[in-house]
Amino acid sequence: MATAINHQVNPSQIMQVGMGFWASKTLLTGVNMELFTLLAKGALSAQEIKNRLGLHERSIYDFLDTLVALGFLKRKGLKETALYSNSDDANVFLDKNKPSYLGGILEMSNNRLYPSWHNLEEGLKTGLPQNEMKNGGKPIFEALYADETKLSEFIRAMGGIQMGNFMAFANKFDFSNYKTLCDIGGAGGFLSAQVVMNNAHMNCISYDLPPVTPIANANLKNMGVAGKVVAQSGDFFKEDFPKADVITMGNILHDWGTADKLMLIRKAYNALPAGGSLVVIENIIDDNRSENAFGLLMSLNMLIETSEGYDFSAADFKEWAQEVGFRKVNVMPLTGPTSAVIAIK
Ligand SMILES: C[S@@+](CC[C@H](N)C(=O)[O-])C[C@H]1O[C@@H](n2cnc3c(N)ncnc32)[C@H](O)[C@@H]1O
């Protein structure tokens, strides 16, 4: 006998997530071809877009109208008469010529993460990374940083994914008792830049591996904060952290296994004065591990991208911070799935 269908159930979430890669890849392809940067200069017809991006006739309306239906483009008219322009969000966040551009992470998703995630099943079965490290490749940062294009794409990607959080942190955190901050693994220097732009009395060090320093220096100069933020080269496996009142780490701990996480938290503790703060900005998973889907997906991304890395909850972090000697841990929600967990010495 056939099982009766329970009308309380609904397949739409299954279908939406299962086929989500169609929508994802359509957006990523538009970003990668700089469609939104082109349209930020003014509305264009499909034929003009086709010619400018070197597209084939066949699917031009399907491609553009899908982006309309997904809410990333606006359109007046239909097909031959249509003029396409960016949606308000796309115009702010997907135009490469604006400082608010966050497409770096989307470009990297298109070029590196999308092909690597094809092997998620293999990663789950072997516990091994599925990116450039696959089949005995070099460790992730060595592999990325040996290739100029991948290095700058990665640093831009980091800036894109965290920018909203750095802005929120720089505005919300009480810096009144502090004068200095060191951002460990500071990449392009964006966290430090936001801190000094919003807290004029602060001076910052953006600390990262030597290949990153010239990129950070160029960004800091562009943002007009080179006098207040110093980009310092270093390797946190080989050296102690520079001393500072506040130590920040954005998406650093999730790159590493438990022993390295503890080593980094301990180095932060040693670099801080009594009353100093360690601020960890990540996609902190809810303690019950059932709500922050993005944080959990980020942790799977760490399987794809690193040897031992994983994301964690505030309860996990509290345990590590207390083991190292921190007195107190607070959580400060930032944007979307991201929070700061703050340990006070
Ligand atoms: C996932 S990125 C995070 C960048 C940035 N903090 C953010 O929140 O977007 C990790 C950063 O750690 C840096 N890093 C990796 N290994 C390092 C090491 N041994 N010493 C110093 N920095 C390192 C990388 O160069 C990279 O910029």
**DSSP string of 179-237, one letter each residue:** -EEEEET-TTSHHHHHHHHH-TT-EEEEEE-GGGHHHHHHHHHHTT-TTTEEEEE--TT
Q: In this predicted model, which residue has the larger pLDDT, 286 or 6?
A: 286
Mean pLDDT of the chain: 95
pLDDT interval class at 282 (50, 70, 90): very high
The predicted structure's pLDDT at residue 25: 98
The predicted structure's pLDDT at residue 161: 85
**Domains held by the chain: number:** 2
CA gap 325, 58 in Å, rounded: 63
**21 close to ligand 1 (CB < 6 Angstrom):** no
Residue 6 lies inside a defined structural domain of this protein:
no
Task: Residue 69: give its domain's CATH number.
Answer: 1.10.10.10
User: pLDDT per residue over 14-66, tens digit each?
Assistant: 999 999 999 999 999 999 999 999 999 999 999 999 999 999 999 999 999 99
Residue 61 lies inside a defined structural domain of this protein:
yes
Residue 192 lies inside a defined structural domain of this protein:
yes
Same domain for 251 and 232: yes
User: pLDDT per residue over 300-330, tens digit each?
Assistant: 999 999 999 999 999 999 999 999 999 999 9
The predicted structure's pLDDT at residue 2: 58
CA gap 312, 238 in Å, rounded: 25
Closest CA to 262 of 244, 277, 280, 288: 280
Residue 236 lies inside a defined structural domain of this protein:
yes
**239 close to ligand 1 (CB < 6 Angstrom):** no
Domain closes at, from 93, 111, 133: 93
Closest CA to 85 of 50, 25, 38: 38
Same domain for 240 and 207: yes
Residue 3 lies inside a defined structural domain of this protein:
no
pLDDT value at 3 more than 80: no
The predicted structure's pLDDT at residue 139: 83
**344 close to ligand 1 (CB < 6 Angstrom):** no
Same domain for 171 and 307: yes
Is 254 tagged catalytic? yes
Same domain for 292 and 237: yes
CA gap 311, 291 in Å, rounded: 14
CA of 18 to the centre of ligand 1 (A): 32
The CA–CA distances, whole Å, from 43 to 75, 78, 113 equal: 9, 14, 31
What is the per-residue DSSP string for 285-302?
Answer: BPTTSSS-HHHHHHHHHH
Same domain for 309 and 254: yes
Same domain for 136 and 72: no
Catalytic choice (7, 118, 201, 254): 254
CA of 125 to the centre of ligand 1 (A): 27
Taking the model in full, what pTM does it have? 0.93
Domain closes at, from 93, 125, 144: 93
Residue 98 lies inside a defined structural domain of this protein:
no
User: pLDDT per residue over 105-164, tens digit each?
Assistant: 999 999 999 999 999 999 999 999 999 888 777 888 888 888 888 898 888 888 878 988
**255 close to ligand 1 (CB < 6 Angstrom):** yes
CA gap 254, 263 in Å, rounded: 13
CA gap 191, 187 in Å, rounded: 9
Q: Structural domain of residue 60, as residue ranges?
A: 12-93
